[in-house]
Amino acid sequence: MQVCIRAGKKSEREEGFPLPVSKSICNRLLVMDFLTGEELPLSDGLPEDVVLLRQALRDIRQGKTTFEVGNAGTVARFLTALLSLLEGEWTINADERMNHRPFSPLITELETMGARIKPCSATALFPLRIKGCGLVSSGIRDIVSGLSSQFISALCLVAPYVGNGIRLRLHPMQVSLPYIRMTLELMKENGADVSLEENIITVREGKYDANIKCVENDWSAAAFAYAAVCLNGNISVRLENLYENSIQGDMAVRDIFEKHFQLVSFFEGDCLLIRHSDRLSYESEDCHIDFRDCPDLFLPVLICSVFEKNRFVFDGLDTLQYKESDRLNAIERELEKVGIGFSRTVNGISFDRERHFRFCADKPVQFSSYNDHRIAMALSLLGFRCREIIIEDAMCVRKSFPMYWESFSRFADVKIMDYFCQIENDGL
């Protein structure tokens, strides 16, 4: 499916922006509840990654042994750790892209604890065959986790049910550390005996409690609401079910947009309000942002920086090549279509103060999403400044934000059209 976005008339107003639940929190809770024999109660409209993991866990309960994970890295890694713990022989199928995403450090650790894991093919990782058993660990393990924090989270989630528990030493430059802290905090809330001291995670053998949870909405998705307010200065946005003391590291989006884009956000009752503030000023002419702890925020921030006068330097982008697409190369190719280029640095990119933006007035600019949900959502933001754009494979947003196009059209003052059906959404 292609989505066409046409720039519309801006107006001053406040709009709600419905967000999805946090897929990171949901998937961690789903694994924990499975180990207690329960199933996390969730409403409809879930991110596709959550639907995939929930279905896989249901399939396990029904005696099935083969599972489909698509291009869902979190699902594949969490499921591999869980199946290694369970007695039986299992097979995980995945999309071709998953063969290029980091996985071997997790397999190595699980094999040291007794699991037997091997690819079904000599030329690709997936399909992956797993012979599960009662895992047993000993000593402190150093896991190569500089490419993903999900290796650590996957091991920690099953650790209470591993003989002797697990002790892991984190790398000094551990990426996405807030996601690991999220995992440990959720485990503690659900009865696990967990500690993180002097860079060593200790999870003692035990079990989880079965608790009823209320899942917070997704701060990563909220970044696109911040970006929309930034690019359309006449609107303010209201977001619900976000916590001021959230365990999600991507709430760093609040500080980024206040510090570098003159947006202010504050909680009023149960809602977070986002709007422009003329009283804020830039901290400096050179804006430096390190995304090592929050790589999912990079793309919406990048699009906003295109239209700013300051010089931006973005670091901590090493892991972007291992996401649903090679995100840094993908977004570079797409921005070149509208005349935007950036310079590569050792660990990131930089934008000079002089930037040029162009678009064709007589025909729409057509962008590829690379079947990557965050690429598609980021490119949609260009609809505020281009006369008309088309995004291919636009429904890949279902992976993390199934109602993105509905939420975007409610307040973005653009028109969205399904090119295949030639149906224009009235009132957008």
Could you tell me where the beta strands, DSSP code E, fall in 10-121?
13-16, 66-68, 88-93, 116-119
Residues 10 and 27 in one domain: no
| Chosen domain end from 203, 238, 261 | 203
Report, as ranges of residue numbers, the positions in the chain whose pLDDT lies below 70. Answer: 7-12, 145-146, 279-285, 353, 359-361, 411-428
Residues 310 and 172 in one domain: no
- pLDDT for res 145: 64
In the chain, the number of structural domains is 2
Taking the C-alpha atoms of residue 110 and residue 121, their distance in angstroms, rounded to an integer, is 20
| Chosen domain end from 171, 203, 235 | 203
Report the helix count and the strand count for the chain, using DSSP H and E: 12, 21
Taking the C-alpha atoms of residue 244 and residue 260, their distance in angstroms, rounded to an integer, is 20
Residues 176 and 57 in one domain: yes
When computed from its CA atoms, the radius of gyration of the chain, rounded to whole angstroms, is 22
Which amino acid is it at 275?
A: R
Residue-range definition of the domain harbouring residue 309: 3-20+216-424
| In-domain check, residue 162 | yes
- pLDDT for res 137: 95
Residues 251 and 325 in one domain: yes
| In-domain check, residue 209 | no
Residues 301 and 408 in one domain: yes
- pLDDT for res 1: 74
| Consecutive H or E run containing 27 | helix 23-36
> Minimal CA–CA distance to 417: which of 382, 397, 391?
391
- pLDDT for res 281: 57
State the Cα torsion 55-60-218-414 to the nearest 10°: -20
Class of residue 212 by CB neighbours under 10 A (exposed 0-12, middle 13-18, buried 19+): exposed
- pLDDT for res 51: 97
What is the SS3 assignment for 54? helix
Which amino acid is it at 341?
A: G
Residues 274 and 315 in one domain: yes
DSSP secondary-structure letter at 62? T
Residues 375 and 295 in one domain: yes
Residues 162 and 268 in one domain: no
- pLDDT for res 427: 35
| Chosen domain end from 203, 236, 271 | 203
| In-domain check, residue 141 | yes
User: What's the CATH code of the domain at 391?
Assistant: 3.65.10.10
Residues 196 and 66 in one domain: yes
